[in-house]
A and B are shown apart, each in its own frame.
Chain A
């Protein structure tokens, strides 16, 4: 019988059955980088921080990391929701406009 298969160029092939590889634990899903959504950047005052981990557990985006025994923000994915600042019991997190930063993400040329 003749083959009625469609020739699919290699670069257009997708994972068979739409089954995709999972990211690694604590990893990231790099096709959806969400740091560019952010309007206000959380800045952690490392002096005030007591390492209570509230910001860490409540972050919807796994964007708070425990680094060098202190909390740090993973800016690549932080959407700037501000929950971390809200739940911090000692007021150690300030929300600063992205425009105040040299590397601020709220720039039209970065969005489009």
Chain B
């Protein structure tokens, strides 16, 4: 069985990419994701990984090259951060519409202005509606595992969709953690070689992406929607298989921590869940019945599972490490999706957003205390004073 190593999120990604036997890798430097390409280029130079390592002329080109390579049957990997992610925006819909299972690492970085290296999820979340599978990892181990799981789900013949494999810049990308590296044979069992459907091949000529009549639009969009819906069972099956082969069991979509008797819950994605767990242990010692609901996939969004999970609480605090200026309820991107998921449920919790970690600030234990205090007050009074709190600016 495998070995254990101390790896950063970027090191874990690179190791998984190598074990996935990726064919084409496209790079362009931007902090903080760029380290993964430094490691991969060395692997290629050393002959440890047989892949075309391409220095793209920008993020738009990184994605374009992956699109062409994937359409021609290659397993591809790319990545970016912050404004690099938004620079490539045009390419995202053509890649998912062409059903090319490109994988892109996003190590989050705050968008400009002002120039800031810290992690904020707006870069990735801004691309959430482009038909890509999307989710966050909390630790280097989860990063490693997600990299393999995403390829498996994205390349599933029912799905055939690209994947944003996200983790927080610095908090995860640069802080080492223990990672169990499996044997190559385990990876091969979990992730079979990519079998492209109708690739660009002169032996069997096809046309990819011709124009359509407007009346052909609904069906094509419905089919892309169905592909995303098919990702749900594909994720569940992949997680099952993953547990069987690697011995690590994940909740496919919604991971809970100390929620059995909880009345209050932090709803969170990504690295800050790590701090939240510590906060919850402290809060529990003080008798506050709070738990954690961590969402592992933002796309596809697990509406039904969230209805089951969140309707058990009296108050839910959505921790938002992102911004959407002027969005419904005036907070971040996640709360409207959470509220929307629960609208059809008769018994639903009171929900408030907590804007935190913007610009890459850590969310401190004290701030989780503050969130718990507000949630407690909301639960006791049975009403929402205001829907959004900006951590650090509140009484």
- Chain A residues within 8 Å of B, Cβ to Cβ: 1-6, 8, 12-14, 16-22
Interface residues of B in 194-218 (CB under 8 A from A): 197-198, 205-210, 212, 216, 218
| Chain A CB within 8 A of B220 CB | yes
In the bound complex, do residue A20 and residue B160 qualify as a contact, i.e. CB atoms below 8 Å apart?
Answer: no
In the bound complex, do residue B212 and residue A12 qualify as a contact, i.e. CB atoms below 8 Å apart?
Answer: no
| Chain A CB within 8 A of B226 CB | yes
Q: Which of B99, B229, B305 contacts A17 (CB 8 A)?
A: B99
Q: How far is the CB of B200 from chain A (nearest CB, A)?
A: 10
Give Cα A1–Cα B230 distance, bound, in whole angstroms. 11
Query: Which of B216, B218, B222, B233 is most buried by chain A, counting CB atoms within 10 A of its CB?
Result: B222
A–B Cβ pairs within 8 angstroms, 18 of them: A1-B302, A1-B304, A1-B305, A5-B229, A6-B225, A13-B219, A14-B220, A16-B99, A16-B197, A17-B97, A17-B197, A17-B198, A17-B208, A19-B98, A19-B197, A19-B206, A20-B207, A21-B206
**A16: B residues at CB distance < 8 A:** 99, 160, 197, 223
Give Cα A102–Cα B270 distance, bound, in whole angstroms. 74
Query: Which of B210, B216, B219, B230 is most buried by chain A, counting CB atoms within 10 A of its CB?
Result: B219
Interface residues of B in 280-325 (CB under 8 A from A): 302-305
Q: Which of B206, B219, B226 contacts A12 (CB 8 A)?
A: B219
| Chain A CB within 8 A of B232 CB | yes
Look across to chain B and name the residue whose beta carbon is closest to the beta carbon of A19: B198
In the bound complex, do residue A1 and residue B232 qualify as a contact, i.e. CB atoms below 8 Å apart?
Answer: yes
In the bound complex, do residue B232 and residue A22 qualify as a contact, i.e. CB atoms below 8 Å apart?
Answer: no
Q: How far is the CB of A71 from chain B (nearest CB, A)?
A: 28
Q: How far is the CB of A110 from chain B (nearest CB, A)?
A: 21
Give Cα A38–Cα B207 distance, bound, in whole angstroms. 28
Give Cα A8–Cα B223 distance, bound, in whole angstroms. 8
User: Interface of chain A, helix or strand or loop or mixed?
Assistant: loop
Q: Which of A1, A14, A17 contacts B219 (CB 8 A)?
A: A14
Give Cα A3–Cα B212 distance, bound, in whole angstroms. 28
Give Cα A71–Cα B233 distance, bound, in whole angstroms. 59
**B208: A residues at CB distance < 8 A:** 17-19
Q: How far is the CB of A10 from chain B (nearest CB, A)?
A: 11
In the bound complex, do residue B223 and residue A14 qualify as a contact, i.e. CB atoms below 8 Å apart?
Answer: yes
**B207: A residues at CB distance < 8 A:** 19-22
**B236: A residues at CB distance < 8 A:** 1
**B232: A residues at CB distance < 8 A:** 1
In the bound complex, do residue A17 and residue B160 qualify as a contact, i.e. CB atoms below 8 Å apart?
Answer: yes
Q: How far is the CB of A20 from chain B (nearest CB, A)?
A: 5
Look across to chain A and name the residue whose beta carbon is closest to the beta carbon of B96: A17
Give Cα A19–Cα B198 distance, bound, in whole angstroms. 8
Look across to chain A and name the residue whose beta carbon is closest to the beta carbon of B222: A6
**B205: A residues at CB distance < 8 A:** 21-22
Q: Which of B98, B218, B304 contacts A2 (CB 8 A)?
A: B304
Can you list, as one digit per residue, whether each of B21-62 has a CB less than 8 Å from chain A (1) or not (0)? 000000000000000000000000000000000000000000
Given contact pairs A16-B160, A18-B209, A19-B197, enumerate 8 new A-B contacts (beta carbons under 8 Å): A1-B304, A1-B305, A6-B222, A6-B225, A6-B226, A17-B160, A18-B97, A19-B207
Interface residues of B in 48-101 (CB under 8 A from A): 97-99
Q: How far is the CB of A29 from chain B (nearest CB, A)?
A: 10
Look across to chain A and name the residue whose beta carbon is closest to the beta carbon of B253: A1
In the bound complex, do residue A18 and residue B220 qualify as a contact, i.e. CB atoms below 8 Å apart?
Answer: yes
Q: How far is the CB of B201 from chain A (nearest CB, A)?
A: 11
Give Cα A12–Cα B226 distance, bound, in whole angstroms. 14
Give Cα A19–Cα B208 distance, bound, in whole angstroms. 5
Give Cα A6–Cα B222 distance, bound, in whole angstroms. 6
Q: Which of B209, B216, B218, B229 contacts A3 (CB 8 A)?
A: B229
**B304: A residues at CB distance < 8 A:** 1-2
**A17: B residues at CB distance < 8 A:** 97-99, 160, 197-198, 208, 223
**A14: B residues at CB distance < 8 A:** 212, 216, 219-220, 223
Give Cα A1–Cα B220 distance, bound, in whole angstroms. 24
Q: How far is the CB of B248 from chain A (nearest CB, A)?
A: 22
Q: Which of A2, A3, A22 contacts B206 (CB 8 A)?
A: A22
In the bound complex, do residue B222 and residue A20 qualify as a contact, i.e. CB atoms below 8 Å apart?
Answer: no
